[in-house]
A and B are shown apart, each in its own frame.
Chain A
């Protein structure tokens, strides 16, 4: 994988490259060089901490879309054993942006469903840049029904710019496919754990996102419309995407406050793309914890809890003046 970097990462990467050069010439004899290395190492740590503790929402958006960011299948490989992919919606075709299959998480069987973006050009095109067609959502629903039938929990991974806006997608009922998943996920008689790993793009993300517990990676985003889309509609200028990202408050920290997500999964310093394994290890522990607590609930209680969770989401005011 070719390492790519964002503008605000550049100063850090430059120093890291210099440090690596110094380390290469270091044979352990030059005391000054050793000191230089130690100093530089410390400096890098400091700068990294500074940059990453003051990220703007737009910078987080860029991290969420980082080309080196772990994708669904990276987490699948790192967190689960024995992944067996299953395909197709049994009606039209298999939709590659949505991946589903059997997996084992610490010895427990789970069905996993997620969105996969694709790393290189060929793969990106094959995965349609992570944008599902209706058959992708219908495949997901079929797999959820399978999970319900065999009393297995579902884990979904969200990472999409949005549902695909195309002629075929509209002809085959993109809105119905998304709507159907929302309704069926609300009443699916098995635990559903949702993980927002990268981009949570609108209805196309939510169509895999109704569940009992919502985890969100620290530098993921989740929004009603992409910042670019919002900017083009409200400002008629996509260059205002940065402002739109700030306005819409789309980060994990924002959404935890609004009750949209339950738990933020911390990423390694510098972001999950700097250390896939470390990011996956933390996520794995969280998934195991969440799933074991959900498994303990009887199904009627689980469904009531899920219903109450969505019934309560939102802020408004009643005439009496109370906000709730």
Chain B
């Protein structure tokens, strides 16, 4: 995303050759930073600690034990049940996102280990149609809760989403109910659900599974809320206070348990999982 800086490389005739994408500009501090260094730092700016948005597979790599991830549910694809067209056809938007991400949908689900602890996880991908929740995302998230229940394992969900997917109409709204219902059953079985909020987590995803964690963790600076800032500004005709709807604001208002930097996430998850896993699951 931040590679925009050198986009015009091909058009410019006499530009100095810079190895492609070696340098990027931080979205937050606007400093030019060396990409390999950022990557070593799990895509966190070494200058200002800004957490770059990262693709779902990147998150899985950074949070789970190498080679333990096994995907399920990747046989599911969206259908255009409303034959929806706005400025583009929904089917074209899907195609573009598939091409861009190499994925079929906006969530990846599977099993993995975190420091040897077996978990089930769902990871939303903001790169795919803004991580929006349509029927496939709802189905896969609900299925991950059911798999966690069957295997009696903790569930971990990483959210990154603008909300429900408008192009699937009211059926996408219903996915909020579907995912929440599946989490209710997981909860009844005394199995932990840890929700990790990343930038951004808003709308129908925030207002369903993302805010239902037994423990809710957020990355620093993540935008989290029900309504988008623009909608709120238009409704109340007021400027929003600095830091409004950011992770730090939610922590202060008692809405999340903790803010954890990406580089500290794996050890923190391990600690939480070890602590909660001591309660053995009971059927009743």
Contact = CB atoms under 8 A, between A and B. Distances in A.
Interface of A: 163-167, 169-176, 178-180, 182-184, 186-187, 202-203, 206-207, 209-210, 222-225, 229-230, 233-235, 247-250, 254-255, 258, 260, 306-307, 310-311, 313-320, 323
B contact patch SS:
helix
B78 A316 contact: yes
A178 B226 contact: yes
Nearest to A246: B82
A163 B176 CA distance: 15
Nearest to A134: B226
Contact of B232 (A165, A223, A318): A165
A250 B82 CA distance: 11
Contacts of A233: 166
A239 B87 CA distance: 14
B87 A235 contact: yes
Given A165-B232, A203-B207, A182 B181 contact: yes
Given A180-B211, A313-B177, 12 more contacts: A163-B207, A167-B236, A170-B232, A172-B253, A174-B207, A186-B180, A249-B169, A310-B174, A313-B174, A317-B77, A318-B75, A318-B77
B197 to A, nearest CB: 10
B212 A179 contact: yes
A225 B227 CA distance: 11
A225 B249 CA distance: 26
Nearest to A186: B181
A178 B86 contact: no
B208 interface: yes
Given A183-B181, A317-B79, A203 B244 contact: no
A247 B82 contact: yes
A167 B135 CA distance: 30
Contacts of B188: 187
Contact of B181 (A175, A311, A320): A311
B82 A248 contact: yes
Interface stretch (B2-10, B40-48, B54-62, B136-144): B136-144
Contact of A174 (B78, B85, B227): B227
Given A166-B236, A224-B204, A260-B174, A183 B183 contact: yes
Interface in B77-115: 77-79, 81-82, 84-87
A175 B177 contact: no
Interface string B63-79: 00000000000011111
Contacts of B77: 316-319
8 contacts: A163-B227, A167-B244, A175-B206, A176-B255, A186-B177, A203-B173, A235-B86, A249-B82
